[in-house]
Amino acid sequence: DTEVTQTPKHLVMGMTNKKSLKCEQHMGHRAMYWYKQKAKKPPELMFVYSYEKLSINESVPSRFSPECPNSSLLNLHLHALQPEDSALYLCASSQDMTSGRAEAETQYFGPGTRLLVL
Amino acid sequence: DQQVKQNSPSLSVQEGRISILNCDYTNSMFDYFLWYKKYPAEGPTFLISISSIKDKNEDGRFTVFLNKSAKHLSLHIVPSQPGDSAVYFCAASIQGGSEKLVFGKGMKLTVNP
């Protein structure tokens, strides 16, 4: 089973709203990732959590706030977003990110949340 | 500076024929390479990978070839099926490193019935 689930599937929010994206995996993976993808572009890494600790923040604006409540869950809290933040937000997970073993570092993606900021 | 390049934005092939998708990379430190397939409005699906200790990996209709000296890899799909029509991303990483997957820009494959 290589399933990563994400909710909601679609989200429309105003620039003053606060919302959260959720990601869940039950594969026992210890690394989880948030990506942003614009149309016809590759996914762009935003954040990486390793063993529930924030490992990488790719200079993402503070209006995006990640949270990893436990090893299976990853949230992305959104506040005061801009229309240019509209995109597909993807969550991914891998067994481990530091093992040096190829199989453990393969990332599996969820279906994404399509976000529209008005 | 683009470290992973997919120079052809699109490819169209006939059902039953071979599809060959190419990818070049510039960073000689990369030692793990992956191919993902993506349908519109969905997340990328992991297809196949190859470690730099190998030059070929096969999984059913999908085979990935790695030429380290040329810093080039390719994905062969044979026979191609209409359901293979999607955008394919090549990605690379350094094992045990900072975990970042570096993606190419993607290539749209269309398989015509």
- Average pLDDT, integer, range B73-89: 97
Chain B residue at shortest CA distance from A46:
B100
Per this entry, what is the length of chain A? 118
Query: Would the pLDDT of B99 be above 70?
Result: no
Rounded distance between C-alpha atoms, residue A48 and residue A31, angstroms? 7
Question: Which residue do the tokens 């995006």 mark?
Answer: A64
Question: What is the average pLDDT across A89-100?
Answer: 85
Helix (H, G, I), strand (E, B) or coil at A103: helix
Pairwise CB contact (< 8 Å): B99 & A105 = yes
Chain B residues whose CB is inside 8 A of the A24 CB are none
B96 touches chain A (CB under 8 A): yes
CA distance to partner chain A, nearest, from residue B62 (Å):
17
By Cβ distance, the residue of B34, B45, B104 closest to A42 is: B104
CB contact residues (below 8 A), chain A span 7-66, against chain B: 31, 40-43, 45, 48, 50, 55-56
User: Is the pLDDT confidence value at B86 over 70?
Assistant: yes
CA dist., res. B3 & res. B103, Å (int):
8
- In this predicted model, what pLDDT tens digit does every residue of B20-40 receive, in sequence order? 999 999 999 999 999 999 998
Q: What backbone torsions phi and psi does residue B75 show, to the nearest 5 degrees?
A: -115, 125
Touching check for B42 and chain A: CB below 8 Å? Answer: yes
pLDDT tier for residue B41 given thresholds of 50, 70 and 90 = confident
Q: Do A45 and B100 touch (CB under 8 A)?
A: yes
| The pLDDT of residue A47 is above 90 | yes
Phi, psi values for residue B84, rounded to 5°: -80, -10
Write A98-105 long-range contacts (CB < 8 A, 24+). Answer: A98/A50, A98/B96, A98/B99, A99/B95, A99/B96, A100/B95, A100/B96, A101/B95, A102/B32, A102/B49, A102/B51, A102/B95, A105/B32, A105/B93, A105/B95, A105/B96, A105/B99
- Residue B41 amino acid letter: A
Q: Looking at CA atoms only, how far is residue A64 from chain B in angstroms?
A: 19
Q: How far apart are CA B63 and CA B49, in angstroms?
A: 9
Minimal C-alpha gap between A43 and chain B (Å): 7
For A10, what's the count of Cα atoms within 13 Å in the CB-facing half-sphere?
Answer: 2
Is A60's pLDDT higher than 90?
yes
Distance from CA of A60 to the nearest CA of B (A): 15
**A50 contacts in B (CB within 8 Å)?**
99
- Residue A66's Cβ-count burial label (10 Å; 0-12, 13-18, 19+) is buried
Provide the pLDDT for residue B95: 77
